[in-house]
Amino acid sequence: MTTFKNQLIAWQKDATALISVNERALLNSVADTQIILGTGDKLSRYDYITTSYGMKEDQQCNTQSDTTLYWWDYNRNELLGYSGGNQILPTISAKNLTNYANTNTKCENPYLMYDSKYKEVVASVYDRSIVYNELL
């Protein structure tokens, strides 16, 4: 699990979910005071962002920029990005690196980092690094 843009994101093997924590809403009353509405449950609701992409159990291979959360999908050998809403960005296929990822065996210990100076995600997989530039 990780937080991204004040949201709690959780991964399963083949899914990525958005979990609501202590969800509440504030309403203004006639007396100019605020009324708090909510269920009071800590984890009352979850919504799947996707049921196609996930993360290997206990892997925790993710990083984030100011706008995007990135993670490595072990089952599909892909670097993925999430900026909000319900859209997942498969960054490797966007940059035509699918053949490279699919011809190699699954990477057991990938490592991701974000370089804010150059706006790049560096994925250390296999015996090489894949660099994804957000600006290009």
Q: Indicate the pTM of the whole model.
A: 0.75
Express each pLDDT in 52-68 by its tens digit.
989 988 888 999 999 99
- 59, 71, 68: which is closest to 108 by C-alpha? 59
Domain positions in the chain: 2-133
Asked if residues 74 and 39 have their Cβ atoms less than 8 Å apart, the reply is: no
Residue 43 has pLDDT above 60, yes or no: no
Q: What are the backbone angles phi and psi of residue 101, rounded to the nearest 5°? A: -70, -40
Q: What is the CA radius of gyration of the chain?
A: 18
